[in-house]
Amino acid sequence: MNAPKYQWQPSSEEIADRHGIPVDQVVRFDQNTSPFPTDWAPSIVAPMARTLNEYPAASYLPLREAAASFLGTTAEHIVPGAGADEIVLLIAKAFLRAGNRACAAIPTYPLYEIASLQHGAEFLGIDRIGPKLEFPLESLGEAAETSEVTWLCEPNNPTADRTDDRWIEEIVSAAKGVVVIDAAYAEFTRDDWAPLVKRHSNVIVCHTMSKAFGLAGLRVGFSMSSIDLAQRIDAVRPPGSISSMSAEISTAALREPQRMERRVVRLTKERGRLAQELTKLGIRVVPSSTNFLLCEVGSSAVAISENLMSAGLVVRSFPQDGQLARFLRFTVRAPHENDRLVAALWSHLP
């Protein structure tokens, strides 16, 4: 059986070469990463450069402790990984095999389906409801009753909404197996998942340093769960998938979250401004709890995205046979970059 593969976006260098533009003119509105530079990190990196001949300690205890303190738990509840993506893959490896089932409300992050299928499980995607893409509580609850893994993305990528806590409790209570809450954007909603983990032994929460913390290049994530589930995930974790520098910088960032919090405030304010500017263009902007905006631009969505890319503005489009065929997704970036996007859209909208 051929395992499904994640479809990678072209690099900025490839896009620049394809369209004959300078690479510094390429802006990534497609990856939901932070526009803020990490000017504070070199002071941490410099001393570590002398010890790159050695492996990192495989336990990553300082990183676990820093993550636990940030989340309001203890280190034995934390499992580190090379980004939330590796955590998702480890969960699938630990809890799924041929004959099992996994489920999720779709559209959502495609890696859940890919990871499930790679381990031979059936994946049941439950369509969101109607033009507002509402959460399918009843149907997903029924699917969770027969699933070894239920995937929830909260807030959801790409729809940018956050499911009501009462509905999440219903899903968790109904689930046959583990419920995985991908909290990649939790800092934008100030979510605190530690109480849910304490109440329910079948909940695993995934976090990342890539979004609000602005450290996507480090590839660091971690899970929070009961000790029993953490041990099962840790049992299939490779010993050194996070580099020494990545672990050190992430630990420092988690110990000083005020830097991240200030940037979240700035991005949230800019998200509102960008939404207003896009609305002036006649675009329907879906309310967002994240650092991106899902926007309905019409039947020319793919053509618009291709025209924007030729100008160095890379946005996220969606399959033409899916629920989001008429939509594009825009990461909220720095004001001058967002202004460039809006100006380009004035030219490229039908």
* Partners of 81 in beta bridges: 221
What's the pLDDT score for residue 32?
A: 97
Chain mean pLDDT for the chain: 95
User: Do 46 and 179 share a structural domain?
Assistant: yes
User: Do 251 and 109 share a structural domain?
Assistant: yes
User: Do 228 and 263 share a structural domain?
Assistant: no
pLDDT bucket at 2, cuts 50 / 70 / 90: low
Tell me if 5 is assigned to some domain: no
Looking at 255, 276, 309, the residue that finishes a domain is 255
Tell me if 36 is assigned to some domain: no
| Tokens, residue 223 | 């899970």
User: Do 274 and 158 share a structural domain?
Assistant: no
Q: Is pLDDT at 311 greater than 90 in this prediction?
A: yes
Cα dihedral 166, 193, 202, 151, rounded to 10, equals 80
User: Do 337 and 215 share a structural domain?
Assistant: no
User: Do 49 and 16 share a structural domain?
Assistant: no
- CA triplet 251, 64, 70: central angle to 5 degrees? 65
User: Do 263 and 166 share a structural domain?
Assistant: no
User: Do 283 and 306 share a structural domain?
Assistant: yes
Range of the domain at 332: 12-30+259-348
Q: What separation in angstroms does the CA of 117 have from each of 56, 128, 151?
A: 32, 21, 13
Tell me if 1 is assigned to some domain: no
What's the pLDDT score for residue 133?
A: 95
User: Do 202 and 88 share a structural domain?
Assistant: yes
Q: Name the domain count of the chain.
A: 2
User: Alpha-carbon Rg of the chain, whole angstroms?
Assistant: 20
Percent pLDDT > 70 in the chain is 99
- Contact between 103 and 140 under an 8 Å Cβ cutoff? The reply is yes
User: Do 192 and 91 share a structural domain?
Assistant: yes
User: Do 23 and 50 share a structural domain?
Assistant: no
